[in-house]
Amino acid sequence: MSEVLVLVDHADGEVKKNTFELLTLARGLGEPSAVVVGAPGVAAKAREALAGHGAEKVYAAESDTADSRLITPSVDALALLVERAAPAAVLVGATITGKEVAGRLAVRTGSGVLVEVDGVDADGTATQAVFGGAYVVKSKVTTGVPVLSVRPGAVEAEAVAGAGVEESVEVPERDARLVTRITGSEPIVGGDRPELTDASVVVAGGRGVGSAESFSVVEQLADAFGAAVGASRAAVDSGYYPGQFQVGQTGKSVSPQLYIALGISGAIQHRAGMQTSKTIVAVNKDAEAPIFEIADFGVVGDLFSVAPQLTEEVTRRKS
202: left (phi over 0), alpha (psi -120 to 50) or beta: beta
User: Does 246 carry a binding-site annotation?
Assistant: yes
For residue 28, pLDDT over 80 is answered with yes
User: Does 284 carry a binding-site annotation?
Assistant: yes
pLDDT of residue 185: 67
User: Does 275 carry a binding-site annotation?
Assistant: no
User: Does 267 carry a binding-site annotation?
Assistant: yes
User: Does 269 carry a binding-site annotation?
Assistant: yes
Residues in the chain, total: 319
User: Does 18 carry a binding-site annotation?
Assistant: no
pLDDT of residue 186: 65
Place 177 in a pLDDT band, splitting at 50, 70 and 90.
low
User: Does 233 carry a binding-site annotation?
Assistant: yes
Place 272 in a pLDDT band, splitting at 50, 70 and 90.
confident
Range 201-223 average pLDDT: 97
pLDDT of residue 54: 96
User: Does 238 carry a binding-site annotation?
Assistant: no
User: Does 190 carry a binding-site annotation?
Assistant: no
pLDDT of residue 120: 95
User: Does 266 carry a binding-site annotation?
Assistant: yes
User: Does 96 carry a binding-site annotation?
Assistant: no
Q: What is the residue-averaged pLDDT of the chain?
A: 92
> What amino acid is encoded at 172 in this protein?
P
User: Does 243 carry a binding-site annotation?
Assistant: no
User: Does 271 carry a binding-site annotation?
Assistant: no
User: Does 133 carry a binding-site annotation?
Assistant: no
- What are the angstrom distances between the C-alpha of 140 and each of 104, 121, 125, 207? 19, 10, 5, 38
Place 176 in a pLDDT band, splitting at 50, 70 and 90.
low
Give dist(CA 287, CA 306) in Å, integer. Answer: 15
The tens digit of pLDDT for each residue in 46-81 reads 999 999 999 999 999 998 877 778 889 999 999 999
Q: Environment class of residue 200 by beta-carbon count within 10 Å: exposed (0-12), middle (13-18) or buried (19+)?
A: middle
Give dist(CA 194, CA 24) in Å, integer. Answer: 21
The tens digit of pLDDT for each residue in 295-312 reads 999 999 999 999 999 999
pTM exceeding 0.85:
no
Buried b (16+ CB within 10 A) or exposed e, 221-238: bbbbbebbbbbbbbbbeb
Is 260 within 8 Å of 202 (Cβ atoms)?
yes
Domains of the chain: residue spans and CATH: 3-178 (3.40.50.620), 201-318 (3.40.50.1220)
Picking from 109, 88, 90, 86, the residue whose alpha carbon sits closest to that of residue 99 is 90
User: Does 6 carry a binding-site annotation?
Assistant: no
Q: What is the largest CA-CA distance in the chain?
A: 60
For residue 190, pLDDT over 70 is answered with no
User: Does 109 carry a binding-site annotation?
Assistant: no
Place 42 in a pLDDT band, splitting at 50, 70 and 90.
very high
Place 115 in a pLDDT band, splitting at 50, 70 and 90.
very high
User: Does 55 carry a binding-site annotation?
Assistant: no
